Structure 1
Amino acid sequence: MEIKSLSLGDVGRFAELKIQLAPTPTHSSNVTVLVGNNGAGKTTLLKSLATSLSWLVARIRTEKGNGSYLADEDIRNGAIAGVISIMVTDHSQSHLNGSGPESEHPYFLWGIARGRQGRKTAVHSELVNVSRLADHYRTQLTENDKASLPLIAYYPVERSVLEVPLKIKTKHSFDQLDGYDNSLNRGVDFRRFFEWFRQREDSENETGISDTALAEVSKKLGTESDAWKTLSKLKASSKDPQLTAVRSAITDFMPGFTNLRVQRKPRLHMAIDKNGVTLNVAQLSQGEKLMMALVGDIARRLAMMNQLLGNPLHGDGIVLIDEVDLHLHPRWQRSLIRQLSETFPNCQFVLTTHSPLVISDAKDVLVYVLNDGELHEHNGLYGLDANQVLLEVMDTDIRNSEVQKRLNRLLNEVQDGNLDKAKSLFAELSSELPEGHIELAKTALLIRKLELRRA
């Protein structure tokens, strides 16, 4: 399942907007990235997608379920009503084509509308097609209680990993529909991921060999003993497939991180191996914890909702992530889109970012720039350096504006042949800027050439 397009009418700061999402005929990737200044409307688009998709989730759960509604504050200032329309394609449901006749690309169009209180308006919600699509998934679950479902998840800026809870407050079930629990909740903090992992690992250990038991045998008898080899084989065969998918996703996505697990000694905690060193997850940086929880949560939901797939990470779905670069080191930002696409190849991603590194290192990504309620597609970013993206896409200076003005003045003096003024400006900047500054190094060569010509 994929989102084909989203249309807004008088929502947020958008009077009228229609946006196509990747993949498109000209962009083969499954990733759309929105960039723009704060307040440009990036989050409005993600929340509008989440609002529309909440109706599909609600009606998969129950036939007459209700999703999220537009609020008065969502309606554009000065307008009396707001409308969100979404078109979704689902190639596996050609017989349910929402457009009427059969076609190669079935689609389902529905809309959410709201008028201001005390105002008369002709707009109204259209939910027939979302009900038809949801009914198909309920029929599949009726026929097979392990039938696959599409992942639908929204991760807002407010996501955080403030704690790693190990005391389970509520028992979680492992049914497909539970993969939708809090999936569009704007305040998700990944508590459920860690609680789920603990509970699932307890079940795994009850039916198999625990890490603690295997470690004790290794300590007493060694890893070459027949007992250790036998227990290792039993442990491998008893591994929980859903936990295996989560651990695999984290290892693939975060090189050097392996074997996420719960340890009972010396006290109960969650541990992970980082480059061969075992660490308490609480010791990781905020960026590492956030990335581990994000990837783990996506993998967990896919594993729950695709129990019959050989590799549940290949399940399909729609994932919305606001400020995907949040707390991430530049090295991780640069590989982020590639890793998302490789780890979850059949998921469609809609991301927002302020990082030039995120959008310049992956091919065929569909990038939109938002500015003052307008939206423009921006192509040809692959391979650009961060400075070019800052200047050309994000309309941001690559360095301090005052320093840039003085560097420009210095270059102008050199080009005009004013050697004395150039050398004076160069001396001033050299005393303030760090040694090895690349622009000063370039200018030093130009000044030397000017001196040689004068000689």
Structure 2
Amino acid sequence: MKFKRLKISDWRQFNEVSIDFHNKVTVITGSNGAGKSTVLRILAKHFSWNCDFLAMPFYDEDKGINIFTNKRQSNSYSNANHKIGEIEYSNEIISSIYIEEHPRTINYDIAIENIDRSIKGLFIHSHRASNNYEITSKIPTGVINAEDSYKNHLQAYKKHLENSSFNGNPTVEMKQSLLSMAALGVGNSYIKKNKKSEKTFTSFIEILKITLPKNIGFKNIRFEVPDVIFETDSGDFVLDSASGGIMSIIDISWQILLYSQDAEHFTALIDEPENHLHPTMQRSLINDLIKAFPNVQFVIVTHSPFIISSVKDSNVYALKHDDSNKVNSHKLDLEEKASTANKILRDVLGVSITIPQWAEDELDKICSMLTAENITENNLNELRTSLDQAGLGEFYPEALYHIVGGKK
């Protein structure tokens, strides 16, 4: 069971949003405030994540009370449900999405009618695991299986997000699980092996060989109790000392692997996977995840042009504001997906020009001497000379785009 289609209309910043989910990869992008994470949170409700939103408060002078509303225009104070969209699943079942027009408090949740709990999946938040060193004080005396390990990891994340402080570090939970799986799962002449835990541990090693950057040459995991050591061609390192980007990939791979041990086909929702990643890692991450987890449907929210264009066989949607400042969905075609990072930033994400602000100001000054109507071979040569003198010669294409009106 997978997600097939999501429709949202006339709610919050949305005018009309319609997203057809690809069987493998769907990427959703757009500027801040366009509603990308809101879409992901609606889907995450299927996986037991809270989906609280804030209603608009106003004071009713006649009644002498505060009223909360979710309607853009409403004279009614009824607490009726209002349909804002629907979700269709791969089994052709359609569930409507409702909100209360006037909730009793400023916080409210959406309601998905007949929500299909048979759809399996996980939500990976944009916040990643901490790599601050914390000793593993508890050496497990019993096997921690994949299901328990995933629950412990998820609980630590939720406590961090809800309380803004860790009560249980996800990285510590990972280390304890790895120690348990290696010692008690693999077994020895005195301890009976647990084949399922052994499989999870060895699978994690194979997954990391796919998802970690090839230039570090990941080889294996070993233990200097209580520490977990990653062996690589570029040198061994303690798990806690991994860079933010490496830790992010390890954490994403770990969560998906754990969930996959009890579910063959499921959906992984990932919010801003580019966080902490070098652009070269952003380009390869999604393809590596597809290779490592071929039965998973990925739904990605991102600002990264490198992720937007990284997978050819995918659906990519941009959430864009229209002239009335409401958001509509726009499906990118193959040509748009194959664009350069600069072109995606400009045409899809609305970054009018992709150079530093000081350079843009200088470019504006130089380009103001030309218009599209008076372009000649001579003044184009003068334009190039002026750009070279200002140290902006490499931005000649951007200057031409600016002159013919592309910036506006």
The TM-score, its normalising length taken from structure 2, stands at: 0.71
The residue that corresponds to 2:404 in the other structure is none
Q: Quote the Cα distance in structure 2 between the aligned partners of 1:207 and 1:365.
A: 38
- Given candidates 312, 318, 325, the residue that maps to 1:369 is 318
- Given candidates 274, 299, 316, the residue that maps to 2:257 is 299
- CA shift for structure 1 position 364: 2.2
Cα 1:239–1:15 shift into 2, 3 Å: closer
The residue that corresponds to 1:251 in the other structure is 209
Cα 1:177–1:84 shift into 2, 3 Å: farther
Query: Is structure 2 residue 342 aligned with structure 1 residue 387?
Result: yes
Q: Quote the Cα distance in structure 2 between the aligned partners of 1:280 and 1:179.
A: 22
Q: Quote the Cα distance in structure 2 between the aligned partners of 1:357 and 1:161.
A: 25
Note the aligned Cα RMSD (angstroms). Answer: 4.1
The answer (yes or no) to whether the contact 1:324–1:353 under 8 Å persists in 2 is yes
* SS of equivalent residue, structure 1 residue 271: strand
Counterpart mapping for 1:130-149 below 5 A? 130=116, 134=118
Query: Is structure 2 residue 385 aligned with structure 1 residue 416?
Result: no
Cα 1:238–1:34 shift into 2, 3 Å: closer
The residue that corresponds to 1:163 in the other structure is 132
Q: Quote the Cα distance in structure 2 between the aligned partners of 1:386 and 1:155.
A: 25
The residue that corresponds to 1:39 in the other structure is 33
The amino acid that maps onto 1:109 is S
Q: How many residues align?
A: 351
The answer (yes or no) to whether the contact 1:333–1:357 under 8 Å persists in 2 is yes
- CA shift for structure 1 position 186: 8.7
The amino acid that maps onto 1:289 is M
The residue that corresponds to 2:294 in the other structure is 345
The residue that corresponds to 2:100 in the other structure is 114
The residue that corresponds to 1:73 in the other structure is 55
Cα 1:279–1:12 shift into 2, 3 Å: same
Q: Quote the Cα distance in structure 2 between the aligned partners of 1:429 and 1:239.
A: 62
Deviations 1:53-84 (A, max 9, x none): 13xx5xxxxxxxxx746544397463675545
The amino acid that maps onto 1:358 is I
Cα 1:302–1:440 shift into 2, 3 Å: same
The residue that corresponds to 1:446 in the other structure is none
- Given candidates 285, 290, 305, the residue that maps to 2:243 is 285
Deviations 1:78-126 (A, max 9, x none): 367554532222xxxxxxxxxxxxxxx553636454342359xxxx956
Cα 1:260–1:126 shift into 2, 3 Å: same
The TM-score, its normalising length taken from structure 1, stands at: 0.64
Q: Quote the Cα distance in structure 2 between the aligned partners of 1:269 and 1:40.
A: 43
Deviations 1:300-346 (A, max 9, x none): 2212x15xxxxxxxx21111111121111111111122112111111
- CA shift for structure 1 position 32: 0.8
The residue that corresponds to 2:405 in the other structure is none
- CA shift for structure 1 position 261: 3.8
The residue that corresponds to 1:319 in the other structure is 268
Q: Quote the Cα distance in structure 1 between the aligned partners of 2:302 and 2:235.
A: 32
Deviations 1:122-161 (A, max 9, x none): xx9564463xx54xxxxxxxxxxxxxxx651112223342
* SS of equivalent residue, structure 1 residue 277: coil
Cα 1:106–1:7 shift into 2, 3 Å: closer
- Given candidates 180, 183, 206, the residue that maps to 1:202 is 180
- CA shift for structure 1 position 45: 0.5
Q: Quote the Cα distance in structure 1 between the aligned partners of 2:310 and 2:113.
A: 39
The amino acid that maps onto 2:340 is D
The answer (yes or no) to whether the contact 1:152–1:180 under 8 Å persists in 2 is no
Name the structure with the higher helix share: 1
* SS of equivalent residue, structure 1 residue 22: coil
The amino acid that maps onto 1:433 is G
The residue that corresponds to 1:137 in the other structure is none
The residue that corresponds to 1:215 in the other structure is none
The residue that corresponds to 1:85 in the other structure is 86
Q: Quote the Cα distance in structure 2 between the aligned partners of 1:432 and 1:271.
A: 50
Segments of 5+ residues of structure 2 without an aligned counterpart are 57-68, 75-80, 322-326, 400-408
- CA shift for structure 1 position 5: 1.4
The answer (yes or no) to whether the contact 1:198–1:262 under 8 Å persists in 2 is no
The answer (yes or no) to whether the contact 1:155–1:186 under 8 Å persists in 2 is no
Greater Rg by CA? 1
The answer (yes or no) to whether the contact 1:110–1:126 under 8 Å persists in 2 is yes
Q: Aligned residues: percent identity?
A: 21
The answer (yes or no) to whether the contact 2:149–2:258 under 8 Å persists in 1 is no
Cα 1:376–1:208 shift into 2, 3 Å: closer
* SS of equivalent residue, structure 1 residue 290: helix
The residue that corresponds to 1:5 in the other structure is 5
Q: Quote the Cα distance in structure 2 between the aligned partners of 1:206 and 1:178.
A: 14
The amino acid that maps onto 1:88 is Y
The amino acid that maps onto 1:374 is N
Q: Quote the Cα distance in structure 2 between the aligned partners of 1:45 and 1:169.
A: 40
The amino acid that maps onto 2:8 is L
The amino acid that maps onto 1:343 is A
Q: Quote the Cα distance in structure 1 between the aligned partners of 2:397 and 2:121.
A: 51
